[in-house]
């Protein structure tokens, strides 16, 4: 993630970045909070989720070290989800205006950021697709099908299903 490669960042963005330590259970932001920053996870693990009207928490995605979180901040005035630290974590915070200026000035970083967002969208789409399937067998089969490269005949499992590695043909 380019925001964590300090040698590759413009000086203006580097000097405006700050770090924030989160203990397990700490909230980085809540849905509806005003957007001020874009965050990159230095280490730890965060969970992004939304609450239904009956109070049920619906997880959207897990953020792992090196990933960006709250990317919608570039396009929204308010955050769209709650983000909570699952374990002790540290995020680097970048002011939105500085990130936008950097992406306009550095098309290479903008392209990298767009690719990361495309991957996040694909992972979230697959997660929603798998959640809609009732049986574990159906979820596993769909995951394997979507993991196979386009145009291939599928995957080959080596060994027993519990301990197998997936070979993509």
**Mean pLDDT along residues 29-53:** 92
115: in domain: no
Asked if pLDDT for residue 52 goes beyond 60, the answer is yes
For the chain, what is the domain count?
1
CA distance 131 to 12: 42
70: in domain: yes
17: in domain: yes
What is the extent of the structural domain holding 79? 2-106
151: in domain: no
Contact 112, 69 (CB under 8 A): no
67: in domain: yes
Residue 7: pLDDT band by 50, 70, 90 thresholds? Answer: confident
CA distance 112 to 107: 9
131: in domain: no
167: in domain: no
pLDDT at 156: 66
CA distance 131 to 147: 16
Q: Render pLDDT for 121-158 as a digit per residue (tens, 0 to 9).
A: 777 777 777 777 888 887 777 777 777 777 776 666 66
User: At 25, which CATH number?
Assistant: 2.60.120.10
26: in domain: yes
**Mean pLDDT along residues 101-125:** 82
pTM (two decimals): 0.69
Asked if pLDDT for residue 41 goes beyond 50, the answer is yes
């Amino acid at each position: 993630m380019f925001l964590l490669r300090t040698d590759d960042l413009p000086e203006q963005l580097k000097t405006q970045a700050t770090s924030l330590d989160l203990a397990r259970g700490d909230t980085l932001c809540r849905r509806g909070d005003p957007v001020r920053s874009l965050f990159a996870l230095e280490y730890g693990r965060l969970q992004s989720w939304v609450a239904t009207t009956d109070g049920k928490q619906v997880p959207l995605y897990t953020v792992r070290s090196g990933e960006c979180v709250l990317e919608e901040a570039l396009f929204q005035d308010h955050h769209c989800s709650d983000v909570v630290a699952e374990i002790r974590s540290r995020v680097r915070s970048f002011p939105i205006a500085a990130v936008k200026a950097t992406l306009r000035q550095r098309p290479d970083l903008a392209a990298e950021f767009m690719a990361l967002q495309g991957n996040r969208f694909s992972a979230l789409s697959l997660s929603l697709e798998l959640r809609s399937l009732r049986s574990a067998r159906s979820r596993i089969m769909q995951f394997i099908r979507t993991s196979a490269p386009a145009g291939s005949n599928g995957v080959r499992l080596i060994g027993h299903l519990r301990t197998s590695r997936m070979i993509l043909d």
